[in-house]
Amino acid sequence: MSAPTGSNSGAQGGLAVALASALREYKGMWFGWSGEQTDEYTGQITFQRNQGVTTATVDLEEQDIEEYYNGYANRTLWPLFHYRVDLAEYEREFAGGYQRVNERFADTVQPLIEEDDAVWIQDYHLFPLGEELRKRGSKNRLGFFLHIPWPPRRLLSILPEAQALVRSLFAYDVIGFHTEEWLQSFCDYAEHELGAAMIDGNLHLGDRQVKVMACPIGIDAQEFAGLATSTRGRLSFRQMRDAAVGRDMIVGVDRLDYSKGLEERFLGYERFLVEHPEERKEVTLLQIAPPSRATVGSYQKIRSNLEGLAGRINGAYADIDWVPIRYVNQGYPRDVLAGIYRAAKIGLVTPLRDGMNLVAKEYVAAQNPEDPGVLILSRFAGAASQLADAVLINPYSAEEMSDAIMMALRMPREERIERWRKMMDVISREDIGWWRKTFTDALMANPLEPEQQDED
Ligand code: GDG
């Protein structure tokens, strides 16, 4: 198995935990960037064993980190795939660095892969890795999972390397997306720009065929519910309730990222305070936003914008005994987070675009079944395709957000319980174990290429 450790994708959260348990079950190995810098790339691997999982990591040199990780991954692909054409940068050096690092990863990891191993590659940092492994003779089952949205065809066409990038994905046997929408956008591009043909759930291009599937990632719902009532979870729950002094708490938890709709969230909340002055001292918004990708300019900008916005809103509406927004730029342990979610009457999850969004699921799992809070969720998060019983909103509309907050505050307990039960059913059924089993079963069921079987 293969995964980037340099990815920010849920690194503090469910994904790392999920992959670790898959690796334990299949006696697999995790390969990726260590997150460390070295003077010159040597491909020297550091092996470690942690809670039954072997990790094999390599350090990258400064130019690689700049061009591959900060560059193509986070300044080109991430914004474009999140519909932020205005933020995406197209530099040949970035594209070159991205390709070079994927080749280096292929050179380094190939000798570790045994004949009957299945390789599962995670996320947009590693699109071309499968093709590079094939070039080096790999006949293994190769799977790929994309954790972010797949953009519409016309949008992707803006990327100078789009055709080659999508073509390279035909090196895989199975490709997974969180939602049907991302899957359809991928097929639309492959069919209309490359001339691929869809036959029985497989996309065919030339002599290659790849199975494509929608397979939404989940969380370990039972474990997360347990965290909320653990000793530290209960302590943090009590601290939050005490600090709120009878007010209803609204919570947001997100990496500090422009895709998460944090500015729109603050503006929607401000709209609520303006439209409902009688509610002002009755609510409080706690926004937890640990910084991420802090060396990238657009991330520095969003950080300073949010500081300005929180300061302005607090300046305009605060009183001696109340501040509207508590805005915190640090991370907390998962059990503390679970207690915070449980103490919040509303979970406010308003990304402008999000592959899935695990915070929405964690908020639901952490609730008290007898008196659950209300999830307000952006229609543009992948999670909305599973959580139809959340209060779904358009995050660009401050009015819709304001109305949804009012509705959630007034929602009768029976309705809250009813909505929560339905959501909890979904996240318990399609949990993290279900996700990895669904994907890995599809990968293992996929027949090897006929010519590969002949050669074996
Ligand atoms: C990508 C995709 C997709 C956050 N703050 C703290 C903390 N977190 C944890 C959350 C959650 C995780 O980080 C964030 O996951 P998300 O899914 O919300 O978002 P991304 O990081 O953007 O993840 C996304 C995901 O990959 C998986 O496929 O859902 O769409 O963008 O687990 O709890 N964890 C701790 N302290 C914090 O302060 N411990």
Residues 400-424 have pLDDT tens digits of 999 999 999 999 999 999 999 999 9
**pLDDT of 131 over the 70 cut:** yes
Q: Residue 450's pLDDT is what?
A: 54
Is there an atom of ligand 1 within 6 Å of 160 CB?
Answer: no
**pLDDT of 206 over the 60 cut:** yes
- Residues tagged active-site: 147, 354
Which residue is listed with tokens 């065929």? 209
Q: Residue 8's pLDDT is what?
A: 34
Which residue has the least CA distance to atom 37 on ligand 1?
A: 331
Q: Residue 1's pLDDT is what?
A: 39
Is there an atom of ligand 1 within 6 Å of 261 CB?
Answer: no
pLDDT band at 14 (very low <50, low <70, confident <90, very high): low
Is there an atom of ligand 1 within 6 Å of 260 CB?
Answer: no
Distance 131 CA to ligand 1 centre (A): 28
Q: Residue 366's pLDDT is what?
A: 98
Is there an atom of ligand 1 within 6 Å of 15 CB?
Answer: yes
Q: What value does the mean pLDDT take over residues 358-370? A: 98
Distance 359 CA to ligand 1 centre (A): 6
CB neighbour list of residue 41: distance below 8 Å, 6 or more residues apart:
58, 59, 60, 61, 64, 104
**pLDDT of 16 over the 80 cut:** no
Is there an atom of ligand 1 within 6 Å of 290 CB?
Answer: yes
Q: What value does the mean pLDDT take over residues 181-198? A: 98
Q: What is the rounded CA–CA span in Å between residue 133 and residue 114? A: 12
Q: What value does the mean pLDDT take over residues 438-446? A: 93
Give the predicted TM-score (pTM) of the model. 0.94
Distance 417 CA to ligand 1 centre (A): 25
Q: What value does the mean pLDDT take over residues 274-296? A: 95
Kindly indicate whether the ipTM for this predicted assembly is greater than 0.95, answering yes or no.
yes
Q: What value does the mean pLDDT take over residues 249-268? A: 97
Q: What value does the mean pLDDT take over residues 186-196? A: 98
Distance 393 CA to ligand 1 centre (A): 20
Q: Ligand 1: which atom is nearest the Cα of residue 354?
A: 30
Distance 182 CA to ligand 1 centre (A): 19
Q: Give the mutation target among 120, 227, 253, 334 for probing the ligand 1 site: most ligand atoms within 8 A of CB.
A: 253
Q: Ligand 1: which atom is nearest the Cα of residue 292?
A: 21
Is there an atom of ligand 1 within 6 Å of 354 CB?
Answer: yes
**pLDDT of 322 over the 70 cut:** yes
Q: Ligand 1: which atom is nearest the Cα of residue 149?
A: 30
Q: Residue 2's pLDDT is what?
A: 39
Which residue has the least CA distance to atom 4 on ligand 1?
A: 254
Q: What value does the mean pLDDT take over residues 195-220? A: 95
Is there an atom of ligand 1 within 6 Å of 12 CB?
Answer: yes
Q: Residue 6's pLDDT is what?
A: 35
Is there an atom of ligand 1 within 6 Å of 17 CB?
Answer: no
Percent of the chain exceeding pLDDT 90 equals 88
Is there an atom of ligand 1 within 6 Å of 356 CB?
Answer: yes
Q: What is the rounded CA–CA span in Å between residue 251 and residue 225? A: 17
**pLDDT of 279 over the 90 cut:** yes
Distance 332 CA to ligand 1 centre (A): 12
